[in-house]
Structure 1
C-alpha cells in the first residue's frame, strides 16, 4: 500500500498545487494562440532556453526588437527554441509577421 499511494499522491499533488496552470505554458515556455503570446510577459534565468509553441492557425515568430533572439518563422503546430539573453534585464519582443503581438522577456 505504500508504493500505491506514493506515486498516486505525487502525481495528484502537482495538479492540486496549481489547478489554474493546467493550460498555462511551463516555465521557460511560451504558447502562441489566437494571435497572442501566452504569457506575453515572462521571466526566465539569464541564458535559459525558451520553447515557443505555435498553437495558432498561421505562422508566427518571437523576435527581440533588437534582434538579440529570434525563433524564425514557426508554422502552425510546430515549436522552436531560442536562448534568453545572458545578461539580466528586460527585452521587448514581437512577432515580425504581426507587429501588434508584443511582450517582454525578463532575464533575472
Structure 2
C-alpha cells in the first residue's frame, strides 16, 4: 500500500479543520462582529407596582474558562460579585461597556453594581472572547 499523496493529505487536513471548526463554533458560539455596536436588548418594564424578579445580589464564579452561571438575573442596581477560581486573570465586561470588573487575578474577586435599566446585557471576558454570558436585569 502506498502512502497518501501530498494532495490527499491536504484534502484530509482541510476536511478535519472544517469539521473541528463546526464543532467548536457550536460549542463556544461565534464571535461578535467587532464593527457592529452592541446595545442592551431592552425589555419592556412591567407596572411600577410590580416587585423586582431578580435577586438583590448574585455571584458568578469563573472556573475552567467558563462563567458559572453564564446567564443570571439580578434586580436593577443589584450587586454582582465575580470570583476568579481559575489559574489566569479574567474580566467580566459588558459588550456595550455598561459594566466592567477590570482584570481579576486568580483567586481574587471583584464586585460591581448592575445597571438600573432593565434589559439583557451580553458580556464576555476581554482576554478570552469565547467566554460569554448574559446578565438580565429584571
CA distance in 1, matches of 2:125, 2:106: 14
Deviation of 1:49 after TM superposition, in Å, equals 1.1
> Match of 1:82?
112
Deviations 1:5-59 (A, max 9, x none): xxxxxxxxxxxxxxxxxxxxxx511000000000000000011110000000000
> Match of 2:135?
105
CA distance in 1, matches of 2:75, 2:59: 12
Out of 76, 83, 86, the position equivalent to 1:53 is 83
Q: When the two structures are superposed, what TM-score results if normalisation uses the length of structure 2?
A: 0.59
Q: When the two structures are superposed, what TM-score results if normalisation uses the length of structure 1?
A: 0.75
Show structure 1 runs of 4+ deviating over 2 A: none
> Match of 1:10?
none
Residue correspondences, number: 82
More strand by share: 1
> Match of 1:63?
93
CA distance in 1, matches of 2:76, 2:119: 9
Which has more radius of gyration? 2
Gaps of 5+ in 2: 1-56
SS at match of 1:47: strand
> Match of 1:9?
none
Out of 30, 41, 63, the position equivalent to 2:60 is 30
Name the Cα RMSD after superposition: 0.7
